[in-house]
Structure 1
Amino acid sequence: GEQIRQRIDAVRADYQPLEIVETFFQPDYVADRLEGLQFNLLGSILIIAITVIAALGWRNGLLVAGVLPVVAIIVLALYNLGGGVLHQIAVIGIVISLGILVDNAIVVVESIVQELQAGRSRREAVESAFEQMAFPLFTSTGTTVAAFIPLLLSKGGTGDFTRGIPVMIILSLLVSYVISVLVLPLVAERLVGIPKHDNQRWIKKISDKLIYISRYKAKLALLLVVGVMALTIMAFPLLKLQFFPQADRNQVVIDMALPGDSSLERMAEVSAEVEQKLLARDDVVGVMRSVGMSGFRFYYNLLATIDSTNSARLMVNTRDMAANQAVIDWITHDIQTALPEATIIAKRLGQGPPTPAPVELRLQSDDPSSLYQAADQVLAILNALPETTMIRSDKDSGLAELSVNIDKTIAQELGVRRDQVAASLFGQTRGLDAGEFLYSDDPITMRVRSAAGDLTTTAELSGQYIYNATGQSVPLDAVATLKSQWTSAVIRHYKGIPTVTIHSELMPGAAYNTVLKKVFAALDENPLPGAVTLQLGGDAEGSADANRAILKSVPIGVMLLLLFMLVQFNSFRRLTIILATIPLAAVGIIPGLVLSDQPFGFQSLLGVIALIGIVVNNAIVLLDVVDARLREGADIDSAVAQSIDARTAPILLTTATTVLGLLPLAFSASTLWPPMAWAIISGLLMSTLLTLIVIPVLCRMMLKTNPVAM
């Protein structure tokens, strides 16, 4: 970008008196976005570091916190060596992984501390911690990686847009495992310290309470967990659904369309008038206008339109983000009212794969009458809803056509051919090619026509003469009749079926699922004509396509996840116990999204995937301690109690670091990442609490015998 600016400055004088104006400069937006995300990344690292130091003491906390920059630097190096480009999706992947990757370091350091507290020497404590945790951490890391495999392998625009997240998270997890298991113990052997008892007192109180619940209140605890999940699921209808949010840019795109028979000159005139009114506003910085086409694709999310004489697009740079809605409201209420013959759509730029509108309804039928009747019915429903705005359809309004019907018999007797009739009509109206004029290096076609041209009346056309092969003049009305009629300007098809597509934008804060629910309710009361079918497009279709793309690769991720867990435990009972934690994570996102008024979309789905990995990770580490104590000969009550004692602190600390590390994203001004951050925060808080209750209870109920030695 800077090189382009320098080059333009160098050649600017050569184009005088023409002026070169910069209307859009993407590198500025990239720099601002990466700077903001780098601040989020550094803020998350600082928050996590302070949290682990406060929880583990300064020596052990610094050991764990030191893993973060080491892993981040190695991951960025590997990403660069693999040809990756650093963009906002990749940086977000690192931010998400911070809380997950520090989990391995916390578990290793806590395990070494527990061995030291048991009276072992530093070397013995490190060796024992390595023997105990290397394989469980390998399988827990593997299961978390497996959770992101479907997102990594998904196809389509959504998969391409978000692929940087699973790539960075998987790299971070793998590097974290290597550093935490192979490097951290070597450093911890010399630097790890035994924390004071006071620092662990509150953890001890929590673990004692959990032991009491799992031992004496097991059935009541399970009933309460089921009740909480049921209440949470009941809140699902309160969720707003959204495929991808709008972009946080100070730009507005305005698409204009006149009736299908409008000329390019008329479109240029109307759009220029709108442009001048925009430039007169104080909150508008600049306008770029394209007539007859959608113009340059200055932003990845823009949908290209078919070149046509009746269309135009204006890209408006506003003073700030707050001015966007003011410009949109002004266009919708003032300009659209002043130009009733035009369809004017003003909206902010979007995120993710492009869709023509949040709400898109495709009506299909081979019966034109039923199709247009259904289109009017749906348009009336949408116009009555308070959540909708800028409603439009591509229903053909038709155009006037002059039909020339030639009497073949009379024409043959008078020696007049069809091509002579056509040439005469074109010569009178549109004009006939009469050669080329060379303007600079560009040839321009010259046409000869009557002075009236397209404005020639029907009576004048009927009276004009046609000259046959012998040079005799024959009046046009002697061989043909002229008839004015109304005909279709455009016949649109979708998958081979005549289709009318209806689009609607949404008012601020509205959700497409709410609008569709009301539309279907109205259609239940007053159904569409029987010959018409309705298909969903827009955000509903885009979300469904993205989910299907992930579901196609889900079996691979599920098989890998089950493989790691079976390798670790070699037990279907233990596999069942761990899988029981997954619904806790998925359901837990609902309260956070509802209370924070964030929509559930593809970003929130990313949060669910991350949650599955974290929760399964916690369950594996917790269950592994139970099995270790059972192999040593302890009964199930003692094994569960010791597991809760040993793993409550690491699990709670992992939850705290992940939640606190995501707070900069949750409260950021970006429209893209808060839904994902709140989904992870809410789901992790709820699932951690429920996991610490459910896993011990299920272990007491299902594990009655000692496991087979591995």
Structure 2
Amino acid sequence: VRAGSEYLQIHPDSLIDSSQELGSILISKGDESQVRLRDIANIERGYKEPAVNKLHMDGHRAIGIGVSTEKGGNVVTMGEGIKQRLKELQGRFPLGMELEVIYMQSDMVITAIDAFLVNLMEAVAIVIVVLLLFMGLRSGLIIGFVLVLTIAGTFIFMGPAGLALERISLGALIIALGMLVDNAIVIIDGMLVRIKAGMDPEEAAKEVAGQTSMPLLGATAVAIIAFAAIGLSPDSTGEFCRSLFIVIAISLSLSWVTAMTITPLLGIWFLKPPTDAEKKADKDPYDNAFYNGYKKFLALCIRFRWVTVAVVAGFFALSVYGFQFTDKTFFPASTTPKYRLDVFWSVDQHIDETEEKAAIIEKGLAELPGVTHVASAIGQGPLRFILTFTPEKEHSGFAQFLVDIEDYTTLQDDIKRAEEYVQSVAPDAISFGRTFDLGPSKPGKIEARLVGPDVDVLRDLEQQTLAIMKADGDAKGSRGRWFERVKVIHPKLSEEQADAHGITTRSVALAIQSTFEGHPVGVYREQDEVIPVLFRQPAPLRNDVANLRQIPIWSPVAQRYIPLANVVTGLETHWSDDVVERRNRKRTLTVVTDPTKDSAPKLWKRLSEKIEALPFPPGYHVEWGGEYESSTDAQEALFAPIPMFVGIMILIVVGLFNAIRQPLVIWLTVPLALIGVTGGLLLFKQPFGFMALLGFLSLSGMLIKNAIVLVDEIDLQIREGKPTYDAVLDSGVSRLRPVAMAAATTVLGMIPLFTDAFYIAMAVTIVGGLLVATVLTMIVVPTFYAILFKAKKDDDRNTTPAPASGGGATTAPPAAA
């Protein structure tokens, strides 16, 4: 109300302070007399009936509470805070109430981070031991110190970049570990050769750093850009792996900075000049059986260069052929010791019936070997507790069991055992078990979307599709996402009788709703909660469908209630589609299934050929979702920016050499990595999924980096007057140790990732590709160079390449060597 220049609120006292006081409300009887509501109705406070969903935990009814970390929050801090608060509230729990945890993400994160930190320390230790063994004590300690310093610097910069310590960011450090020492190895190796040749350590440091700064900067930039497609992928998979690119970009950038600053300084301080006796000996550091053997083999390959090319091409063709036999799983399964078991009964089954059947299954699952806890969500999926988990939508005949086991290594055996048990006690249901995915997940690994205008035609296509899926021995859980048609009772209203009693279709609908479900007649406010007030008929009338004809309907004409039978000519029962989904404004019936043994891509290939061969009427077609769609979308998003990044990488390499032939030599070796990739994946029986694809892209950056320093060394020796043929051989010899060391540290540093389900495919891809590609780099790159520059033995002509804009050798000049 307005009071002068102000508005004042008026809050009258409420006459109802509790739900029981609703009974005091006076209702007119129509004859000017009044009665209390409690005199003509039973007032009860309860829950919605029938329930939409229910939850059980270890055989007891439960209420699920989900807590999510706020944006920018720390899940570990949040988890510890929840544990502390629950501990404080433990004493206030009613007698008989217990608290059980279905999933505590903070515990999983702590376990995963601890395991990854151990893997990281193991990888660092492996790399340092390799450096000590093959580079010597002083050189190994210098490079090892610089490596630790680079990792520490990466941790410092991760904070401002908004990155946390998690599976992806820590895995990125392990992936980059071998590359982090590449630059330092080149600097220390160059200084060692010069110092042994009699050069002052400080002069050696200045010369090596000056000559290698631009080539190593360009090579590092190429290695970073090779991961850029991951960081800029716009889909959910790219978002999931974005920290991988950012961490690698930070760490590799820091590795170049430390290689140009701290590494030369430490080399000046700790690398010992040769003694007088060593100077008198003046022994060539490359004059031993290992280097001589490599030089002879390389000379043989260059002499029979076209035979070498033919052999390499043969291996490449064989790898292309063998690649078709690799598995193509999109994302690996999680190693969490938990699996889900989905059971679908008829969609029109009452939820109480579903609960009774689920209780039997829950008890049986709990008695299986190795099972520690069983939670069951009835009527729909549980709260979303994992980012990659999508709960099942509302379905009164659905139950999902979340089963905790002792050891994740027995997951597949446990799932098979559980499936067999459920099929024995619920043969009328569709049941199947699944692990939780580490990447994006869908209702089914295989999804066939049948698109068209007519529901009946789609249902017919659904049956044909299900028949194909069920006929395949590797498909399980085959079902349509519209589920079964349900029985619907349709009262046929007699217009003549309805008009005579003043009854409309709306009043009939309200009467039926009031009888069975309850009709909202008001709300009751209790503090900050609004509770609906429903009017419905007594339980004996609403719990028996036979009483449908006796439903009372108010007749305005007769001024009394009359039974529904007076205004209907009959009750018809027919089948109806309870769910009709549309996608892009078109009716879409999705049929899903999951593989039992083979991978999803193999099963999809078999099924898609048969389903696409079905006689689709005009206007009808099939689209593919599931893992096929996720994989396709992720790869399209990943490949979309790749041409731009490849162009940038090519421009960097061309800019380094200011020529075309040298970059051509380097890029010709990149596809040859497929030889090692195919062999590694087949040997270790790993799939070429999304993570393996990322590994292959990153592998290209590593190979280009190694090839750049080798070709740059060849060019330097040619510019200093050495014949092309001799420069090719001598450069290969001088670059053998740094390239081999860089590859060895990367390969051995990947060993801890072989125990991680998420990264093993990527690790196998990088290890297999790098092992073979390193050999090819030291053989094929010199051979291609000899072909393009027409290098021949005993040819004194110097095919001088164009001067490199960055200049610089990566090791000592020929005189020093």
Q: Is 576-585 or 354-363 further displaced after alignment? A: 354-363
Structure 2 distance, partners of 1:524, 1:402, is 37
The alpha-carbon distance between structure 1 residues 571 and 278, as it changes in their structure 2 partners (threshold 3 A), is same
Structure 2 distance, partners of 1:472, 1:519, is 62
Matches within 5 A, 1:393-432: 393-409=480-496, 411-432=498-519
Matches within 5 A, 1:370-409: 370-409=457-496
Q: Which residue of 2 aligns with 1:685?
A: 771
Calculate the TM-score normalised by the size of structure 1: 0.93
How many Å apart are 1:153 and its aligned residue? Answer: 1.3
Q: Which residue of 1 aligns with 2:574?
A: 485
Q: Does 1:300 align with 2:387?
A: yes
Give the one of 367, 370, 381 matched to 1:280. 367
How many Å apart are 1:266 and its aligned residue? Answer: 2.7
Calculate the TM-score normalised by the size of structure 2: 0.81
Q: Deviations over 1:1-56 (max 9, x none)?
A: 23322221111111222322333322222222122212211111121112122212
Q: Deviations over 1:406-441 (max 9, x none)?
A: 343553355433333334444555455577789997
Runs of 4+ in 1 over 6 A off after TM superposition: 194-200, 434-442, 462-466, 472-475
Q: Is 679-688 or 51-60 further displaced after alignment? A: 51-60
Structure 2 distance, partners of 1:168, 1:621, is 24
Q: Is 96-105 or 514-523 further displaced after alignment? A: 514-523
How many Å apart are 1:200 and its aligned residue? Answer: 7.1
Q: Which residue of 2 aligns with 1:62?
A: 141
How many Å apart are 1:637 and its aligned residue? Answer: 1.0
Q: Deviations over 1:548-606 (max 9, x none)?
A: 11122223422321232122011122222211122112443111001110111111112
The alpha-carbon distance between structure 1 residues 431 and 113, as it changes in their structure 2 partners (threshold 3 A), is closer
Structure 2 distance, partners of 1:689, 1:579, is 16
Q: Does 1:136 align with 2:222?
A: no
Q: Is 634-643 or 475-484 further displaced after alignment? A: 475-484
Structure 2 distance, partners of 1:648, 1:679, is 23
Q: Which residue of 1 aligns with 2:60?
A: none
C-alpha RMSD of the superposition: 2.7
Q: Which residue of 1 aligns with 2:801?
A: 707
Give the one of 503, 508, 511 matched to 2:592. 503
Q: Does 1:602 align with 2:696?
A: no
Q: Which residue of 2 aligns with 1:15?
A: 93
Q: Is 266-275 or 43-52 further displaced after alignment? A: 266-275
Structure 1 distance, partners of 2:762, 2:293, is 29
Q: Which residue of 2 aligns with 1:349?
A: 436
Matches within 5 A, 1:566-645: 566-645=654-733
Matches within 5 A, 1:139-218: 139-193=218-272, 201-218=288-305
Q: Do 1:605 and 1:676's aligned partners in 2 also have CA atoms closer than 8 Å?
A: yes
Q: Which residue of 1 aligns with 2:72?
A: none
Q: Do 2:502 and 2:556's aligned partners in 1 also have CA atoms closer than 8 Å?
A: yes
How many Å apart are 1:184 and its aligned residue? Answer: 0.7
Give the one of 646, 650, 653 matched to 2:738. 650
Structure 2 distance, partners of 1:517, 1:218, is 42
Q: Do 2:302 and 2:783's aligned partners in 1 also have CA atoms closer than 8 Å?
A: yes
Q: Does 1:5 align with 2:92?
A: no
Structure 2 distance, partners of 1:307, 1:200, is 76
Give the one of 168, 193, 204 matched to 1:125. 204
Q: Do 1:420 and 1:468's aligned partners in 2 also have CA atoms closer than 8 Å?
A: no
Structure number having the greater helix percentage: 1
The alpha-carbon distance between structure 1 residues 99 and 432, as it changes in their structure 2 partners (threshold 3 A), is closer
Structure 1 distance, partners of 2:551, 2:332, is 61
Q: Which residue of 2 aligns with 1:42?
A: 121
How many Å apart are 1:528 and its aligned residue? Answer: 5.0
Q: Do 2:516 and 2:536's aligned partners in 1 also have CA atoms closer than 8 Å?
A: no
Q: Which residue of 1 aligns with 2:153?
A: 74
Q: Do 1:252 and 1:317's aligned partners in 2 also have CA atoms closer than 8 Å?
A: yes
The alpha-carbon distance between structure 1 residues 480 and 683, as it changes in their structure 2 partners (threshold 3 A), is same
How many Å apart are 1:529 and its aligned residue? Answer: 5.4
The alpha-carbon distance between structure 1 residues 211 and 153, as it changes in their structure 2 partners (threshold 3 A), is same
Q: Which residue of 2 aligns with 1:675?
A: 761
Q: Do 1:255 and 1:312's aligned partners in 2 also have CA atoms closer than 8 Å?
A: yes
* Aligned-partner SS, 2:492: strand
Structure 2 distance, partners of 1:513, 1:327, is 24
Q: Is 235-244 or 394-403 further displaced after alignment? A: 394-403
Q: Do 1:332 and 1:390's aligned partners in 2 also have CA atoms closer than 8 Å?
A: no
User: Unaligned regions of 5+ residues in structure 2, if any?
Assistant: 1-78, 791-798, 806-817
* Aligned-partner SS, 2:679: helix
The alpha-carbon distance between structure 1 residues 115 and 304, as it changes in their structure 2 partners (threshold 3 A), is same
Structure 2 distance, partners of 1:135, 1:253, is 54
Matches within 5 A, 1:88-103: 88-103=167-182
Give the one of 630, 638, 652 matched to 1:564. 652
Q: Does 1:329 align with 2:416?
A: yes
Structure 2 distance, partners of 1:475, 1:40, is 75
The alpha-carbon distance between structure 1 residues 358 and 688, as it changes in their structure 2 partners (threshold 3 A), is same
How many Å apart are 1:630 and its aligned residue? Answer: 2.1
The alpha-carbon distance between structure 1 residues 338 and 197, as it changes in their structure 2 partners (threshold 3 A), is farther
* Aligned-partner SS, 2:705: helix
Give the one of 97, 104, 110 matched to 2:183. 104
* Aligned-partner SS, 1:375: helix
Pairs aligned (count): 706
Aligned AA (1:212):
A
Q: Does 1:368 align with 2:446?
A: no
* Aligned-partner SS, 1:360: strand
How many Å apart are 1:241 and its aligned residue? Answer: 0.5
Q: Does 1:696 align with 2:782?
A: yes
Give the one of 238, 244, 247 matched to 2:334. 247
Structure 1 distance, partners of 2:553, 2:152, is 84
* Aligned-partner SS, 2:641: helix
The alpha-carbon distance between structure 1 residues 434 and 655, as it changes in their structure 2 partners (threshold 3 A), is closer
Q: Does 1:538 align with 2:626?
A: yes
Structure 2 distance, partners of 1:506, 1:540, is 13
Q: Does 1:271 align with 2:350?
A: no
How many Å apart are 1:477 and its aligned residue? Answer: 5.2
The alpha-carbon distance between structure 1 residues 291 and 524, as it changes in their structure 2 partners (threshold 3 A), is closer
* Aligned-partner SS, 1:82: coil
Aligned AA (1:19):
E
Structure 1 distance, partners of 2:609, 2:393, is 34
Structure 1 distance, partners of 2:626, 2:170, is 28
How many Å apart are 1:240 and its aligned residue? Answer: 0.4
How many Å apart are 1:206 and its aligned residue? Answer: 4.4
Rg larger for: 2
The alpha-carbon distance between structure 1 residues 422 and 77, as it changes in their structure 2 partners (threshold 3 A), is closer
How many Å apart are 1:116 and its aligned residue? Answer: 2.7
The alpha-carbon distance between structure 1 residues 580 and 463, as it changes in their structure 2 partners (threshold 3 A), is closer
Structure 1 distance, partners of 2:619, 2:682, is 40
Aligned AA (2:183):
N
The alpha-carbon distance between structure 1 residues 413 and 448, as it changes in their structure 2 partners (threshold 3 A), is closer
* Aligned-partner SS, 1:544: helix
Q: Deviations over 1:640-678 (max 9, x none)?
A: 122112112211121111111112212x1x211111111
